A and B are shown apart, each in its own frame.
Chain A
Amino acid sequence: MHLDWTAVRLTLAVATCTTAILFAAGLPLAAWLARPGRGWRFLIEVVVAMPLVLPPTVLGFYILWATGPRTFVGRWYQALFDSRIPFTFPGVVLASVLYNLPFAVRPFTAALGAVDRRLIEASWCLGVSRPATFRRVTFPLAWKGILAGLVLVFAHAVGEFGVVLMVGGNIPGVTRTLSVAIYEDVQALDYASAARSSLFLLTFAFGIMSLVHALQRNGRLP
């Protein structure tokens, strides 16, 4: 089947990077948010939740505006990596990470918060440090919810369109993900190509959800 494999690989690369980054950065943030505590914490929660209601084009616009080559962030990035943020693969990943932040942090926070606090305290009283407690008690008890969040992020990032279009510049092989390619095909009246790409995405989505479902049923995910 003649499929736009470049776009497919690029899409999977963006989604994988996004998921990995949100796992590494989102989990600590979620752990902090899940602790019982001070009232102003909710402000952070609100900021994290904003991409849920913000139109993706707005987010894309602000990312362009804040990271262009003439901005402080842009110049700092240029100095470090000799490259730019808009219209590059890292730029698209950044946009995807920001847009998917709530899809990761909120399930993580819920899963971590659902762990009985007394279990954590019991672990402390048995002489186990906080990081080790997270590793031995909190995470094992919360990991199904965390995995659900990761799957959601991955699937969402595969389909991401608005932000990628704004920040990506639709460059083949660099920022032209499958969703953008489909959009372009439709506009150019190449319905056959659009249909092939769409079918691939549909099959992929179905496959990944079935896999997760089957793993949960088999008990391989305890």
Chain B
Amino acid sequence: MNMLVVPPSAGPGLKIKGETIATGCTIISLPHPPWPPLTKGGRMLLFCIAISLAGCGDRADNAKQQAPVSATDGVTQTIPEKNPGKKPQGNGELRIAAASDLKFALDDIVAAFNRLHANAQVTVTIGSSGSFFAQLSNKAPFDLFLAADVDYARRLVEQGHGAPSGAFPYARGHIVLWSRKDSPHDVERAGVSMLSEKEVKSIAVANPKTAPYGRAAIEALKSLGVYEAIQSKLVYGDSVAHAAQMVESGAADLGLIALSLALSPTLRERGKYWQVPADAYRPIIQGGVILAWAEDAALAEEFRDFLLSGQGTSILKEFGFDTPSTGE
């Protein structure tokens, strides 16, 4: 009988004679192959080749993990995983894909979480919910998805990509009309009529095709009756954070952005806003889902619970999020 030691591999698994060998530290007995028994040197060579192939699988996978998988304005916050080779279940790492309006709120939440779970390594990647949805539909390597629309989470579950626990709403977001503090456009007082002013030449919104805040913004514009008039002034950012950046940099005059971004440390002192009436658009119910391939599902569940707990929701409230209404 030939024996082959298969090291742990994160690759698709070694296939020998059509049998996929299970990954994990295993010593496998193989039936005697039809070719003549190999010499000692020959067996050594085969062994080395097998090890290298397993290693290659690791490296390719790690490369995928370390390459930025976010949308154009993705921000990966902590160091990427360095260790080759998959660790056994419960590796203490959590990779979160989060909608860009959560950026600042999530910073605080993750910090609070780390105080309770000192060994947890949480990585957050920011982008538009739509882009993440597309990537996760193709099994992008994240553990937890926090979208700006619970719909995306539910669709992932329908596709079979969600963990058994299913989609969960965690917050309700709001949109505001935002401008820089030094801008001549007084949004706080004028509100929606500001949009039709002649001096306002460009209004930034998130792309409605890929960002829930963009969709909500367009809805609001339509229900407030100004969409037709100002449609030519709209400029589309990749995500709501990109839209915010366009206004903040001065390139666009006004923007319809998330309240959470307006209240963030970077924008709070730099701008003024007018809250768009909530009945002008369908409620933005933000929801998330743990992914079926999450490496440390237990840790992901702990994080989700923390997010939904009193501590998590109070942080979210600071950033203008409401609790999601029940029954959604």
Contacts and interface: CB of A to CB of B under 8 A. Distances in A.
Consider the complex of A and B and state whether they touch directly, i.e. have CB atoms less than 8 Å apart. yes
Contacts of B304: none
A187 B128 contact: yes
A2 B14 CA distance: 45
B72 A57 contact: yes
B313 interface: no
Contacts of B251: 64-65, 68-69, 86-87
B100 interface: no
A70 B180 CA distance: 11
B235 A186 contact: no
Contacts of B238: 165, 170
B32 interface: no
B201 A69 contact: yes
B260 interface: no
A86 B246 CA distance: 10
Nearest to B128: A187
A162 B242 CA distance: 13
B9 interface: no
A186 B250 contact: no
Contacts of B250: 65, 68-71
B210 interface: yes
Nearest to A70: B250
A54 to B, nearest CB: 16
A106 interface: no
A162 B238 CA distance: 12
B236 A86 contact: no
A145 interface: no
A80 to B, nearest CB: 15
Contacts of A169: 202, 204, 235-237, 246, 252
Interface string B195-230: 000000110100101100000000000000000000
B62 interface: no
B130 interface: yes
A187 B210 contact: yes
Contact of A187 (B131, B201, B202): B131
Contacts of A162: 72
A65 B246 CA distance: 10
A126 interface: no
Interface in B229-253: 234-238, 246, 249-253
B278 interface: no
B210 A86 contact: no
A131 to B, nearest CB: 41
Contacts of B252: 86-87, 169
B253 A171 contact: no
Contacts of B202: 84, 86-87, 169
A188 interface: yes
A65 B249 contact: yes
3 A-B pairs closest in CB distance: A169-B235, A68-B250, A170-B236
16 contacts: A64-B249, A65-B249, A69-B251, A69-B253, A84-B202, A86-B252, A87-B251, A165-B238, A169-B204, A169-B237, A170-B236, A171-B235, A187-B134, A188-B130, A188-B210, A189-B134
Given A68-B250, A169-B237, A170-B238, 12 more contacts: A65-B250, A68-B249, A68-B251, A69-B201, A86-B246, A165-B72, A169-B202, A169-B236, A169-B252, A170-B207, A170-B236, A187-B128
